[in-house]
Amino acid sequence: MSRIHEALKKAEEQKPPAWRPTDPTPLNYVGESEVAAASGVLHSPRRGEMPATGRCLRLEELRQRCIKPGWRLNPDYDVFSTQQSSALCAEQFRTLRSRLYRLREKSPIRTLLVTSTLPGEGKTFVALNLALAIARQHERRALLIDADLRASRLHVRLGAPSAPGLSDYLSGRADEFSILQADPKVELFLVPAGRSAPNPSELLANGTLKRFLDGMSPIFDWVIIDAPPVLAVADPSIIAEFCDGVLVVVQAGETAHDLVKTTLQEFRGNNLLGVVLNGANEGTNYGGYSYYAGFGMDKK
């Protein structure tokens, strides 16, 4: 059994308490061997290509023309909030961020899909806090895209309008400027999910999302896409085709090992970067990945 599977098996045996939004629990990141295996096939077809509009977008134009609704980020979901007693969790996100930058030294990764096997494993939590970790760095910009067109949550956590958003753009009802939101306080941009659509999978596969990402990824340091769970719908596999890398979130001690294995198989051999073990308890040793094992200590 590979190290990643051993780690997941051990995690399954640990039963952490149910989530409490005000009580963030740490992450662990496993799968370095898988990362190494996957890095050879990472693709980055986008650099230099033209966006949907047929011209290169510029950051200043985006800044001027996007919406600035004034977010009210819910501190309960922000591990960097001073109201949170989550220094350890914040540190884990900084560590995840630096691991991703190190991966980028080997492969040109910029667009990142965050998915999981089942609902409720922490995809939105990880996507949001990873994006915040990036945007908090000096002169770094992150774009968060809510591609969970069936159960969108990012706008709720950020206190942002839900529409117009991705579904409106993909169905031709909105342009890129009207779906992009920004906040002057953080170098974070958001594309919310938008109005509910009867056919999310078809919208995501109609070629428009790829063109949108082609236009956006040269402007941002990272583009992070929050997706639905793999077991429920085909959407994550569709979106993964247009992304440089996939992070699979696994809720430690909850998700059955076999189900996780199926999820990893879906992306292995394509662009799987690794697994974020969410809710791993401090001091727990997950199959050789002790709490800090595998992490470079991030001094940023």
Ligand X SMILES: Nc1ncnc2c1ncn2[C@@H]1O[C@H](COP(=O)(O)OP(=O)(O)O)[C@@H](O)[C@H]1O
Residues of this chain that interact with Mg ion (CB under 5 A) are 123-124, 153
Q: Give the one residue of 95, 124, 217, 255 binding ligand X; rule: CB under 6 A.
A: 124
> Candidates 38-46, 105-113, 117-125, 263-271 — which segment interacts with ligand X by CB under 6 A?
117-125
Site string for ligand X, 266-285 (x = CB under 6 A): ------------xx------
State the Cα–Cα distance between residues 25 and 232, nearest whole angstrom: 25
> Candidates 58-66, 120-128, 139-147, 158-166 — which segment interacts with ligand X by CB under 6 A?
120-128
> Candidates 50-58, 119-127, 137-145, 281-289 — which segment interacts with ligand X by CB under 6 A?
119-127
Using CB under 6 A as the binding rule, whether residue 24 contacts ligand X is answered as: yes
Pick between residue 66 and residue 191 the one whose CB is nearest to ligand X. 191
SS3 294: coil
Listed as own residue / partner, the contacts of 45-49 with beta carbons closer than 8 Å and 24 or more positions apart are: 46/110, 46/111, 46/213, 46/214, 46/217, 46/218, 47/108, 47/217, 47/218, 48/218, 49/214
Pick between residue 153 and residue 211 the one whose CB is nearest to Mg ion. 153
Token output for 110: 């910029």
Whether residue 192 contacts residue 166, with contact meaning beta carbons closer than 8 Å, is answered with yes
Whether a cis peptide bond, with omega within 30° of 0, leads into 184 is no
Using CB under 6 A as the binding rule, whether residue 153 contacts ligand X is answered as: yes
**What single letter denotes the amino acid at residue 2?**
S
Number of residues counted as binding ligand X (CB under 6 A): 16
> Candidates 16-24, 51-59, 174-182, 267-275 — which segment interacts with ligand X by CB under 6 A?
16-24
DSSP state of 295: P
Residue 75 binds: one of ligand X, Mg ion, none (C-beta under 5 to 8 A by kind): none
CB 204 to Mg ion: min, Å:
15
Question: Helix axis angle, 3-13 relative to 257-267, nearest 10°?
Answer: 150
- Report 62-91 residues binding ligand X (CB under 6 A): 77
Pick between residue 110 and residue 153 the one whose CB is nearest to Mg ion. 153
Residue 120 binds: one of ligand X, Mg ion, none (C-beta under 5 to 8 A by kind): ligand X
Using CB under 6 A as the binding rule, whether residue 25 contacts ligand X is answered as: yes
Helices (H) and strands (E) in the chain, counts: 12, 8
**What single letter denotes the amino acid at residue 292?**
Y
> Candidates 123-131, 202-210, 212-220, 267-275 — which segment interacts with ligand X by CB under 6 A?
123-131
In what order do the strands lie in the sheet containing 142-146?
A: 27-30, 272-278, 245-251, 111-116, 222-226, 142-146, 186-191, 181-183
Which H or E run includes 235?
helix 235-240
Residue 25 binds: one of Mg ion, ligand X, none (C-beta under 5 to 8 A by kind): ligand X
**Of 120, 33, 156, 24, nearest in space to 79 by CA:** 24
Residue 34's Cβ-side half-sphere holds a number of Cα atoms within 13 Å equal to 27
Pick between residue 42 and residue 238 the one whose CB is nearest to ligand X. 238
Interface residues toward ligand X, by CB under 6 A: 19, 21, 24-25, 77, 116, 119-125, 153, 278-279
